[in-house]
Amino acid sequence: MRHVDFSPLYRSTVGFDRLFTMLDSLAQPDNGQTYPPYNIERTGDDAYRISMAVAGFSETEISIEAHRNVLTVKGEKTDEQSENGSEFLHRGIAARAFERRFQLADHVEVQGAALKNGLLHIDLKRNIPEEMKPRRIEISAAPAKAKQIEAQASK
């Protein structure tokens, strides 16, 4: 069974339609997209890093865009002419254009990116707003309401 029907859950939940769409898209193949290879690692409690192998690309040929929980990395190689007029007999270093998209969770923001030794490192951090963090509610002791029953004085 490749497709899961989430329609019964739509009747009893509110606001989870984006989650169901993401789960449904996981079952679909990624159209065989394997270039460029990448790693995703956790570098701290709320910190992550995406490392992509982009050998042969410079900083000006790569663009990174974060928009509505989607991180898009695009690379487009400019036509380069050999300085001394030589031609390639074999080209093993890929120079094809690429576009990779990553779904980001809520409150995950891009902290920065660096290109070093042919690897593009994109640092991410989850910043949960204060109003969404769990908070401790102090319990105060309620003042005891003492009922005083007046005793009848004996006659």
Domain span at residue 109?
A: 33-79+92-128
Q: Which of 13-17, 54-58, 81-85, 150-154 has the highest mean pLDDT?
A: 54-58
- What is the structure's pLDDT at 49? 94
In the predicted structure, residue 89 carries a pLDDT above the cut 90 = no
pLDDT digits (tens, 9 = 90+) for 71-83: 999 999 876 655 5
Q: Are 20 and 42 contained in the same domain? A: no
Name the E strands within the chain. Answer: 38-42, 47-53, 62-67, 70-75, 98-103, 108-116, 119-126
pLDDT digits (tens, 9 = 90+) for 54-71: 988 889 999 999 998 889
Q: Which residues contact 107 (CB under 8 A, 6 or more apart)?
A: 126, 127, 128, 129, 132
Q: Are 55 and 103 contained in the same domain? A: yes
Provide the CATH number for the domain around residue 53: 2.60.40.790
Is 49 within a domain? Answer: yes
Query: At 147, is the pLDDT very low, low, confident or very high (cuts 50, 70, 90)?
Result: low
Percent of the chain residues past pLDDT 90, beyond the cut: 28
The C-alpha atoms of residue 112 and residue 79 are separated, in whole angstroms, by: 28
Report whether 124 contacts 104 (CB < 8 A). yes
Mean pLDDT of the chain: 80
Q: Are 42 and 98 contained in the same domain? A: yes
Nearest to 62 by CA among 141, 4, 118: 118
Q: Are 114 and 65 contained in the same domain? A: yes
From first CA to last CA, the distance across the chain in angstroms is: 90
In the predicted structure, residue 1 carries a pLDDT above the cut 60 = no
